[in-house]
Chain A
Amino acid sequence: MINTKVNLCGVELDNPIIPASGTFGFGYEFAELYDINMLGSFSFKGTTLEPRFGNPTPRIAECSSGMLNAVGLQNPGVDKVISEELPKLRRVFHKPVMANVSGFSVHEYVETVRRLDGEGDIGWFEVNISCPNVHGGGMSFGTSPELAEQVTRAVREVTKKPIIIKLSPNVTDIVSIAKACEAGGADGVSLINTLMGMRIDLKKRRPIIANKTGGFSGPAIKPVAVRMIYQVYEAVKIPIVGMGGVATAEDVIELMLAGATAVEVGAENLVNPYACRDIIEALPKAMEKYGIESIDNIIGAAH
């Protein structure tokens, strides 16, 4: 009997598949296409304390086997997420959801988490620390072990729910950041966020994206994700949510072998809105092919 269940920070998932934040909105566009309750969970659109329009357009550029995006955390702000988005989400999704939060100061992270903490359907907080930190000299929380630990500790004080810190790959040593999050009291880490990239329009001789740089995602980045998950798995004891270029059930298995307990699917949702359904349906067969009875047995098995 094939078993796809995994336990992520004390919460059981029917399967390890989680649509990544920013590629799945608040779920209801996809609920028109299939029953999203088949998902392990999903990470909702990155939420900040204040409403944000985000960056000017163009925000999107295509690459070989991937894409750049510079949406810039467009969201209606935490209060509207609670009053408008979560009630709509509840009508279509009945499992614990992952609340993805971002901020530009420690205070913003703390206040956003504090306001969301009372929402019963939130199973985990995914704290995105790859945004520019206006209080830290333009650095981002995700590129400094000290700041990563500081924000983790601060958020830890306002919630008892599991905290998963989402890490940036745009660093020299992701392991030191992951260890700092663990030391700060994180229950898990998720990686990788997008890789910073750029594309230039040959006719206009200017970057395609208005923000100039954008986050690179899609199948092209999977080897970077596998490598970083592998390295972080060796260095921390807390679970890892792996992501980066996942498009198939085999990709899920690969990231789990590297050390991921659960796997997020991002860009692929945008080119194939049925991607997560297709992966979940294909997973048992892929497990059978590679002699896997229980998927939780393969977490970190490549080490």
Chain B
Amino acid sequence: MKDIIFKVISNELIAKNTYECKLSGDISDITASGQFVNIKLDGFYLRRPISVCDAEGGVLTIIYKVVGEGTEAMSRAEAGTEWLTLTGLGNGYNTSLSGDKPLLIGGGAGVPPMYMLCKKLISEGKAPTVILGFNTENEVFYKEKFEELGAKVIVATADGSVGVRGFVTDAMAGLDYTYFYTCGPEPMLKAVYNASATSGQFSFEERMGCGFGACMGCSCKTKYGNKRICRDGPVLVKEEIIW
């Protein structure tokens, strides 16, 4: 964990209410996909926890959805804006358990961490399949980016406007995979839990106070004891989750 100034390089609308922001700064503390950063914005007391989409060559990429006043303020940030940012937070995904054919399942704002994970798995010589779930066509992002990495990509939309009609679990049916990784809204995670044929890892979201384990604001119960989503998570393994 480090508290570092990051400078906005670009901040662009890439889908409905969804922004891709590239930032320059020290990314050395980001050691695993699935980790997050906690950003201090002018005029807001608490920081904004945002998952890491990519961290390479001194550039941090985050993708966020405008859901409230904080993310609305972020969306107005121009190149050159500086944000004090705690980096390297959370445990992140463990890729050593993936097997040869891991399945990555991202839903909406849960898609971004799948990108760095997918890159890592491919660099380890594995052949990931990626399911990207959205409500409708104008919310879809990063399909091509995943394809450029060399992953097999399946898009699912709830209204069927693009790709498989239905939820990510509809796209999972019949797929052959060795392990899975997922991030998305909690109802989706639960559906994936029930539909999955193998073990896997889930990244959870929770309202946080500090983001680094001090306040116990984001605690949850697991089969392995109480855990803080920010510090002991956000990634939990299938076997420990209590719904």
List A residues at the B interface (Cβ < 8 Å). 22-25, 29-30, 32-33, 45, 53-54, 57-67, 69, 71, 74, 208, 218-219, 267, 269-274
Contact = CB atoms under 8 A, between A and B. Distances in A.
29 contacts: A22-B216, A25-B214, A29-B212, A29-B214, A32-B1, A33-B1, A45-B216, A53-B219, A53-B221, A57-B218, A58-B207, A59-B219, A60-B46, A60-B207, A62-B44, A62-B45, A64-B45, A66-B45, A67-B45, A69-B209, A69-B215, A74-B219, A269-B214, A270-B215, A271-B40, A271-B47, A272-B3, A273-B3, A273-B210
B226 interface: yes
B218 A74 contact: no
Nearest to A33: B1
B220 A57 contact: yes
A62 B46 contact: yes
Contacts of B215: 22-23, 60, 69, 71, 270
Contacts of B218: 57, 59-60
A286 B44 CA distance: 26
A57 B213 CA distance: 15
A218 B45 contact: yes
Given A65-B45, A271-B210, A54 B220 contact: no
Contacts of A64: 45
Contacts of B226: 53, 74
A269 B210 contact: yes
Contacts of A53: 219, 221, 226
Contacts of B207: 57-61, 208
A22 B47 CA distance: 18
Contact of A23 (B44, B214, B231): B214
Contacts of B3: 272-274
A24 to B, nearest CB: 6
Nearest to B229: A57
Interface string B206-243: 11111011111111110000100001000000000000
Contacts of A62: 44-46, 70
Contacts of A24: 214
Contacts of A58: 206-207
Contacts of A69: 209, 215, 217
A23 B214 CA distance: 6
A88 to B, nearest CB: 13
Contacts of A61: 207
Nearest to B213: A29
Main secondary structure of the interface of B (DSSP, over half): loop
B86 interface: yes
Interface of B: 1, 3, 40, 44-47, 70, 86, 206-210, 212-221, 226, 231
Nearest to B47: A271
A54 B45 CA distance: 24
A74 B231 contact: no
A216 to B, nearest CB: 11
A219 B217 CA distance: 19
Contact of A271 (B46, B213, B219): B46
A25 B86 CA distance: 18
Interface centre among B70, B86, B215 (most CB of A within 10 A): B215
A166 B188 CA distance: 44
Contacts of A22: 215-216
Contact of B219 (A29, A54, A66): A54
Nearest to B206: A57
Task: In the A-B complex, list the 10 residue pairs whose CB atoms are closest, starting with the nearest.
Answer: A270-B210, A60-B217, A58-B207, A60-B209, A62-B46, A74-B216, A60-B207, A59-B217, A270-B209, A29-B213
A214 to B, nearest CB: 10
Nearest to B220: A57
Given A59-B217, A71-B216, A74-B216, 14 more contacts: A24-B214, A25-B214, A30-B214, A33-B1, A53-B221, A54-B219, A57-B220, A59-B216, A71-B215, A269-B210, A270-B209, A270-B214, A270-B215, A271-B47
A71 B207 CA distance: 12
A23 B220 CA distance: 18
Contacts of B208: 60
A300 B1 CA distance: 39
A297 B47 CA distance: 37
Contacts of B210: 23, 269-271, 273
Nearest to B211: A270
A59 B226 CA distance: 15
A265 B206 CA distance: 25
A95 to B, nearest CB: 19
Contacts of A269: 210, 214
A170 to B, nearest CB: 21
B96 to A, nearest CB: 25
B201 to A, nearest CB: 20
A272 B38 CA distance: 11
